[in-house]
Amino acid sequence: MALALLAGAFAAAAAQTSPHWTVDAVVEQMDRAAAGFRTLTADLEHSKYTDVVKDTSVETGRIFVRRDEKMRIEILKPDPRTILRSGDTLFVFTPKIKRVEEYDLGKSRAMVDQYVLLGFGTRGEDLKKSYLLTVLGEAPLDNRKTVLLELTPKSEKVRSQISKIQMWVDQTSWIPVQQKFFETGSGDYFIFHYTNLVLNSKIGNGRFKPDWPKGVTRIKPRG
């Protein structure tokens, strides 16, 4: 009985000190943040967990995002490569093999945006159109107060690849500081973790130009 009373007391205290976030309240905050969003730079850690072999691979780098649908990811370790997105074109440059892959996103554009740019300048109302949103509660991360959202894709095409996404949204900037993607039909998942975020600094056009070294092989894979 004493343990039950103690547990009840802690639960009551937590309820008094932790705000109860609703989907509408979070959406409203994200809408306000999106209105003022212009650019983002951050350090990036990308980890991929493969359930069959119980293995996690990790790579680190930098990300640069601009509101006009431009994005550059520079993976620095362990194997350098650059991912550049400009409008409907996506480039993947691998310096080790001196190759640039060029993809015309076309109809796959929406799918690509599920993996990158999710929540960066995205209006909460637009998220509601594409996902079933659930607030899982507050979840401290990197000494930040965050709200943990769960997003279930409404599109069957997206859901066939990604069953759900969890997103840690910073309560100060209302920008994601971490995203976790659960792959459909397996225990696999991957995480984008952002640190040292800087909002609305100037990012010149040169950062998003596909200027590759001489002698690279250019290919346009199908699909």
Q: What is the pLDDT of residues 61-106, one digit of tens each?
A: 999 999 888 899 999 999 999 999 887 888 999 999 999 999 888 7
Local confidence band at 114 (pLDDT 50, 70, 90 cut-offs): low
What's the topology of domain 20-219?
outer membrane lipoprotein receptor (LolB), chain A (2.50.20)
The whole-number pLDDT of residue 129 equals 86
pTM of the model: 0.85
Mean pLDDT of 119-129: 83
Q: State the Cα–Cα distance between residues 189 and 160, nearest whole angstrom.
A: 14
Q: State the Cα–Cα distance between residues 90 and 85, nearest whole angstrom.
A: 4
The whole-number pLDDT of residue 65 equals 93
Across the chain, what does the average pLDDT equal? Answer: 87
The whole-number pLDDT of residue 107 equals 67
Q: What is the CA 200 to chain-centroid distance, rounded?
A: 18
Contacts of residue 215, defined as CB under 8 A and 6 or more positions apart, other chains included, come to 98
Q: State the Cα–Cα distance between residues 70 and 205, nearest whole angstrom.
A: 9
* pLDDT over threshold 50, residue 25: yes
Q: What is the pLDDT of residues 147-182, one digit of tens each?
A: 999 999 998 988 999 999 999 999 999 999 999 999
Q: What is the CA 185 to chain-centroid distance, rounded?
A: 21
Quick check: helix, strand or coil at residue 189? strand
Domain boundaries, the chain: 20-219
Rg, the chain, Cα only: 20
133 with 23: CB under 8 angstroms?
Answer: yes
Local confidence band at 125 (pLDDT 50, 70, 90 cut-offs): confident
The whole-number pLDDT of residue 56 equals 96
Q: What is the DSSP string of 96-159?
A: TTTEEEEEE-GGGHHHHHHHSSTTSS--HHHHHHHEEEEEEEE--BTTB-EEEEEEEES-HHHH
Find the length of the chain.
223
